[in-house]
Amino acid sequence: MSGNDQDLLAGLEAMADATLRKRLELMLAARGAFDQELTACETLDDCQRLKGKYVGRDGSLASEAMPAMRGIPVAHKQTLGAEINSIKKTWEEKIKARQIELEAARKKHTSLTDQWDPTLTPPVPARGALHPLNRLMDRLVEVFRPLGFHVEEGPEVETEAHNFDGLNIPEDHSARASSDTFYLAAHPELLLRTHTSPVQVSTLRRVAHDLAARGGIRFLAPGRVYRKDEIDPTHSPMFHQVEGMLVGHGIGMQHLKGTLEYALRALFGPHTEIRLRPSYFPFVEPGCEVDVSCPLCAAKGCRVCKGSGWVEILGAGLIHPNVLKYAGIDPGEWSGWAFGMGVERMAMMLSQTPDLRLFFENDQRFLKAMGGLD
Amino acid sequence: MWIERKVLTQEVPVVAGLDTRQLCELLASLGFPVDSVTAREGTEALDVDITANRGDAMSHRGLAREVASKLGQSLEPIAVPALQEGAPAVEVRLESPACPVYSTAVMELGTGATPQEAQSFLLALESTPKRLPAVDASNELLHRYGHPTHAFDADRIRGGVSIRWAKDGERLVTLDGVTRTMTGQDLVIADEAGPIALAGVMGGDGTKVTETTRRVLLESAWFDPKTVRATARRHSLHTDASHRFGRGADPAMAPVARDLLVGRLQAWCGAKLVSAWTVGTIPVVSISVVLMESLLTRVAGEPLSLPDAAEALKRLGCTVEVKRDRLRVMPPSWRHDLTIPEDLAEEVLRLRGYEHIPSVLPPLEGPPQPLSQDYLKRQSLARRLAHLGFHQTVTYGFVSPEMDQQTPGPLGQQAFDIPEGRILANPLGLDYSVLRRSLVPSLVEVAKRNLKQGQREVRLFEIAPTFRGLPERPVESWTVALVWAGESWDADPESRAILVKAKHLHGILKDVLRPGTPQNVHPVEDDTILTAEFLLDAVPPPDERIIPAYTPQSRFPAVERDLSVTVPTDLAWQAMHRAVQDALNRTALTDLICADLYRGKSLPAGTKAWLLRLTFQAMDRTLLGEEVDGWVAAALAAAESLGASLRA
């Protein structure tokens, strides 16, 4: 027993009231038990209970002991009274510290268990999509931009002159028939353009007077066109084309081939090969069809290329002198090439979409999956 | 067109050494792609695509000529039986320039059938032998040499024969059993009783050859291509004969094909020639063309030797005169498609092979042009809307009259429009008969279909022209439409789905439209689908400046004050906003928003509660509490003037 404890005992013995003395004795005796119980506290609730037992406002050891201090003789107040106060303060501090400790642990625990479950879907901002056909047309424009091509556009309602006459299409050509082309009831000379080629006519006519100052012209004309086809898996009365045209000095088939080789490689990959085959369109001479090595099987032969390794991709040729003449351009000085490409056809080939109608049904799931957004 | 490999090989024996794939590649390289190959009658039948300009290639002989030219082979001349023309057995009159030559013969048929070989040939080409030698021989000749001929039952012809324009309203029952009513633009073969054939298209039923036919009148003529095309189209009667005459047959073949037909009937059924004769003269339909060396060089992309070019053209049957810097070329009678120098250059390149054309990027001769503002605007708008969660759609430009009436279009009901000016003369059907004035009905239809298919939320847009009927012609305006329907939900399980309301679409419009543009949001289908439509003009153009002019921002602290007020239910925020702003226009007010809107039973009847949030910030100093207090008091006074009272 230390000297301090002897002082305390002396103080207790000097107390007259046995009941009060008992309360102080209990408090002094609980010092060891408190430390043990504190260590045993696992939760904030445990702490709360401990607090109630030792230092709470009502019925705790400390709350019982405090009024009992009145019974301590003045001579012992310094030792016994101070000690009782000190014990209470210590308990309070220790509980507080333990509470903070447990609180911190709880917070840590909570933040771990309440952490967002990464396997759940996070809140995602809405995301739409561009239409696959527009995406493909945008891509074509992108591919031709570095070569100095810009975009020309024209109306969907066209004159027979722009849609046919200016393109060297004979007056009795079957494409002009009302079985092939939509005409307007109130304006018999107006029709829904059957190809993007009338943009050639309107553009060439517009630039003819200052073609030399411009240094020729080169452009793409993407757009919607109409033909009187019944709706089925491979036909649609409305579809898209991209027209390409270049007019300059001394333009020949080599320039058509060079440009298309560049563009189709940019589109399908650097190992793409192209093949020109003779063909016929009234507005070009010579005319050709252009095949690319099948981009789906690297020309090994598949269902899409029917085992041939080649896929037909567009029609092209050197601009017919009559087309230049019609636009007021001298075919003796100027020459050029043109091509026309079916956008749906290419989109179907690239995506292996089995039915053309899907592009016009606009099922949002289809649009999301096929269109996307860069 | 079907080509039977065995007969092609008879014409060009070296073809025997090519496998099917090589043969197909060869034909494709000449401009005649093969669509399919089928085994039939112990040989291969090739379905060959012939372009509209190459009527001359629409036969075995025609394609053989092409193949032989490419392979440097020469064809054996056609074995034509020696035949002496004599006096006409029937009077034949040519009364129209559309038929300049008519070779004919009268024969007495013997007994005998179409040989097995000829029947197999026809079967391989998907043509059914009639087992009538006169009919089968004519058919076989057409496929073999490309020249259509016809046999009439001579005993059913009354009097002389004339080739003339039909009289309006004249009738003829054609071989297919259909009664044709003709016009003055139809060329017919007629006897004294009337038409007996549509010239170059189809024979008549009344004079057709049957089992009982004893005497035949043969026809091997040349008809004007335009006339034949027009008649075939007018009567929707496209036949093997009309395809060939329509694309331009070889006029020199008229007497030759007649001779061949006579020879076959003699050989197949012991027919006896009564007389053969020709009326009219073979027209010259080819014209002489000069090909300059410079043009050939430009088209080919490299200098080609003129003698080599001449050689190629000669192989195709042209007569060529080689000059120092040019070729003078007379195409053969079967190539009327060769009319300009470029045609000849193409022939030279074609025989040489397009694979030899060099690949060169064309040099720039001037500065590239920028993309148009309109185009760029559409591109960036489409991307913006897609990033805002909308899906770009593509719908048809024409709709049904009912759909057309559903919404007024981007310019509203007041816009001048003659709907009749937007109607198609020959639509696919009523559902596709009017050029639409609004994109909305099409998008609503798409939205409904998507909702029905289980999409919880549908966000669509389309950028396309709409049409307005004007007296001269319909005008087209680039138009943008949006449709939003369903529940909006960000996939977070802790947040709740919200029903899309008009305000959400207004928010999108505020984002994309020029400030101050009226926002026409229209709910349809019991307000479950929200729509908006506007002209592309309502979208601001991309900024001309790469970076806008600098505007300074305050570096001093901002002070935020809230005012909670009740206001009459019908008070519009815009009025409050304007009143407070006007009251504080000389202060450091930088922002005024309605931070909270409350409607509840705890409020006095006829009122709602707004939380006005005022933000003050000066460019040059830190604001003092007292001055801000003064401004807030002024703001409250302004609010009170509109019937607001401070909430307790």
Write the DSSP string, A72-127. S-HHHIIIIIHHHHHHHHHHHHHHHHHHHHHHHHHHHHHHHHSS--TTSPPP----
Residues of chain A with pLDDT under 70: 1-3, 110-114
Give the span between the Cα atoms of B244 and B149, in whole angstroms.
11
Chain A nearest CA to B442, separation (Å): 10
Give A310's contacts in chain B (Cβ within 8 Å): none
Residue B606 has a pLDDT of: 92
Instruction: Provide mean pLDDT across the span B391-420.
Output: 93
Q: Which two tokens stand for residue A163?
A: 């849609």
C-alpha distance from A250 to closest chain B C-alpha (Å) = 6
**Residue in the block written with tokens 């509840």:** B600
Question: Measured between beta carbons, which residues in chain B are less than 8 angstroms from residue A275?
Answer: 354-355
Q: Which two tokens stand for residue B121?
A: 């040939």
Whether chain B has a CB inside 8 Å of the CB on A250: the answer is yes
- Residues in chain B closer than 8 A to A188 (CB atoms): 425
Mutate: best of B32, B247, B354, B436, partner A, most A CBs <10 A: B354
**Cβ separation B492–A123 shorter than 8 A:** yes
Length of chain B: 648
Percent of chain B with pLDDT strictly greater than 90:
89
Distance CA B254, CA B99 (A): 11
In chain B, whose CA is at the least distance from the CA of A344? B394
User: What tens digit of pLDDT does each residue of B456-480 get?
Assistant: 999 999 999 999 999 999 999 999 9
- What is the model's pLDDT at position A275? 95
pLDDT at B519: 82
- Interface A–B counts its CB contacts (< 8 A) at 266
Interchain contact A107–B (C-beta under 8 A): no
Nearest Cα of chain A lies from the Cα of B498 at a distance, in angstroms, of 13
Distance from CA of A237 to the nearest CA of B (A): 8
| Residues 6+ positions from B77 with CB-CB distance below 8 Å | none
The pLDDT score that the predictor gives to residue A114 is 67
Token code pair at residue A43: 């939760």
What is the average pLDDT across B571-587? 94
Contact A187 B392 (CB under 8 A): no
Q: Does B298 touch chain A (CB under 8 A)?
A: yes
The sheet with strand B194-198 has its strands ordered as B92-94, B161-165, B187-191, B194-198, B202-203
Q: Which of A114-118, A317-321, B140-144, B366-370 is predicted least confidently?
A: A114-118
* Binary contact (A184, B300; C-beta < 8 A): no
Q: What is residue A281's three-state secondary structure?
A: coil
Residue B439, helix vs strand vs coil = coil
State whether B453 and A363 contact (CB < 8 Å). Answer: yes
Q: Do B460 and B443 meet the contact criterion of CB atoms below 8 Å apart? A: yes
Structure confidence at residue B481 (pLDDT): 97
pLDDT score recorded for residue A59 = 80
Cα(A307)–Cα(B37) distance, rounded to whole angstroms? 13
With beta carbons under 8 A apart, name residues in chain B contacting A157: 435, 467, 473-474, 476
Q: Does B489 touch chain A (CB under 8 A)?
A: no
Q: Do A286 and B299 touch (CB under 8 A)?
A: yes
Which residue's structure tokens are 């002024």? B634
Residue B360: closest C-alpha in chain A: A258
8 Å CB contact of B386 and A129? yes
Query: Beta strands of B306-402 (E only): which ranges?
Result: 319-322, 326-330, 391-392, 398-399
Instruction: Label residues A170-197 b or e (16+ Cβ within 10 Å = b).
Output: eeeebbbeeeebbbbbbbeebbbbbbbb
pLDDT score of A5: 75
Report the distance separating Cα B202 and Cα B221, nearest Å: 13
Closest chain B residue to A240 measured between Cα atoms?
B394
- Alpha helices by DSSP H, listed for B483-541, are 502-512
Task: State the Cα–Cα distance between residues B600 and B597, nearest whole angstrom.
Answer: 10
Contact residues, chain A, for B230 at CB < 8 Å? 172
3-state secondary structure of B450: helix
Are the beta carbons of A237 and B432 separated by less than 8 Å?
yes
Residues of A in contact with B422 (CB under 8 A): 184
The contacts of residue B622 (CB under 8 Å, 6+ apart) are: B556, B557
**Cβ atoms of A298 and A271 closer than 8 Å:** yes
Name the 3-class secondary structure at A51. Answer: helix
pLDDT at A112: 65
| CB-based contact, B474 to chain A, within 8 Å | yes
> What are the chain B neighbours of A150 within 8 Å (beta carbons)?
368-372
Mutation for testing the B interface, residue in A220, A254, A306 having most B CBs under 10 Å: A254
**Strand A284-293 vs strand A217-226: parallel, antiparallel, or unpaired?**
unpaired
CA distances from B407 to B25, B375, B403 (A): 55, 26, 8
Mean pLDDT of B535-552: 87
The CA distance from B377 to B383, in Å, is 10
Q: State whether CATH 2.70.170.10 applies to domain A132-370.
A: no
**Residues in A 164-203 with any Cβ partner in B closer than 8 A:** 172, 174, 177-179, 182-188, 190, 192
Rounded Cα–Cα distance for residues A289 and A291 (Å): 7
- B420 and A185 in contact (C-beta within 8 Å)? yes
What DSSP state is assigned to residue A177? S
Predicted complex: ipTM over 0.85: yes
8 Å CB contact of A156 and B476: yes
Which residue's entry shows tokens 């006005």? B612
Q: Work out the average pLDDT over B498-513.
A: 91
Helix (H), strand (E), coil (C) string for B187-240:
EEEEECCEEEEECCCEEECCCCCCCCCCEEEEEEEECCHHHHHHHHHHCCCCCH
Minimal CA separation from A151 to chain B, in Å:
6
Q: Tell me what pLDDT residue A113 has.
A: 63
Q: Is A352 on the interface with B (CB under 8 A)?
A: no
Q: Chain A contacts of B381, Cβ < 8 Å?
A: none
Report the mean per-residue pLDDT for chain B: 94
Contact (CB<8Å) B342/A125: no
User: Is some CB atom of chain A closer than 8 A to the CB atom of B346?
Assistant: yes
| Residue given tokens 């998907």 in the structure block | B126
**Closest residue to B385, CB basis, from A128, A182, A275:** A128
Q: Do A361 and B425 touch (CB under 8 A)?
A: no
CB B94 within 8 A of CB B102: yes
Nearest CA in chain B to A189: B473
- What distance in Å separates the CA atoms of residue B123 and residue B241, rounded to the nearest whole number? 18
How far the first Cα of chain B sits from its last, in Å, is: 92
Q: Is a pLDDT exceeding 80 seen at residue B544?
A: no
| Contact residues, chain A, for B461 at CB < 8 Å | 128
B397 touches chain A (CB under 8 A): yes
Instruction: Provide the pLDDT for residue A76.
Output: 82
Categorize the per-residue pLDDT at B305 as very low, low, confident or very high, splitting at 50, 70 and 90.
Answer: very high
User: Which residue of chain B comes nearest to A131, CA vs CA?
Assistant: B392
Question: Taking a C-beta distance cutoff of 8 angstroms, is the pair A70, A81 a contact?
Answer: no
User: What's the pLDDT tens digit per position in B606-631?
Assistant: 999 999 999 999 999 999 999 999 99
Residues on chain A touching B451 (C-beta within 8 angstroms): none
Subunit contact B368:A149, Cβ cutoff 8 A: yes
What is the structure's pLDDT at A2? 53
Of A150, A157, A289, nearest to B371 by CB-CB distance is A150
Q: For chain A, list the strands marked E by DSSP.
A: 150-151, 157-159, 190-192, 217-226, 238-248, 274-279, 284-293, 310-319, 335-342
Least confident of A311-320, B339-348, B508-517: B508-517
Contact A285 B458 (CB under 8 A): no
Q: Which domains does chain B have, with CATH numbers?
A: 2-71 (3.30.56.10), 92-280 (3.50.40.10), 289-352 (3.30.56.10), 373-538 (3.30.930.10), 559-646 (3.30.70.380)
Distance CA B136, CA A339 (A): 44
Please tell me the distance in Å from B34's CA to the nearest CA on chain A. 12
Distance from C-alpha of B513 to C-alpha of B518, rounded to nearest angstrom: 9
The pLDDT score that the predictor gives to residue A56 is 84
**Residue B246: is its pLDDT beyond 90?**
yes
Split at pLDDT 50, 70, 90, the class of B601 is: confident
Q: What is the distance in angstroms between the Cα of A141 and the nearest Cα belonging to chain B?
A: 10
Residue B544: Cβ within 10 Å count: 7
Partner A contacted by B302 (CB < 8 A): yes
Give the span between the Cα atoms of B611 and A244, in whole angstroms.
59
Contact A182 B424 (CB under 8 A): yes
Q: What is the pLDDT of residue B493?
A: 82
Structure confidence at residue A42 (pLDDT): 86
Looking at the complex, report in whole angstroms how far the Cα of residue B48 sits from the nearest Cα belonging to chain A: 13
Pick B346's closest partner by Cβ from A149, A174, A278.
A278
In whole angstroms, how large is the CA radius of gyration of chain A?
A: 46
Alpha carbon distance B249, B234 (integer Å) = 20
Q: For the CA atoms of B484, B488, B491, B493, what is the dihedral angle to 10 degrees? A: -170
Assigned token pair, A229: 């086809």
Would you tell me how many other CB atoms lie within 10 Å of the CB of residue B506? Answer: 14
Helix then strand then coil, in percent of chain B rounded to 5, is: 35, 25, 40
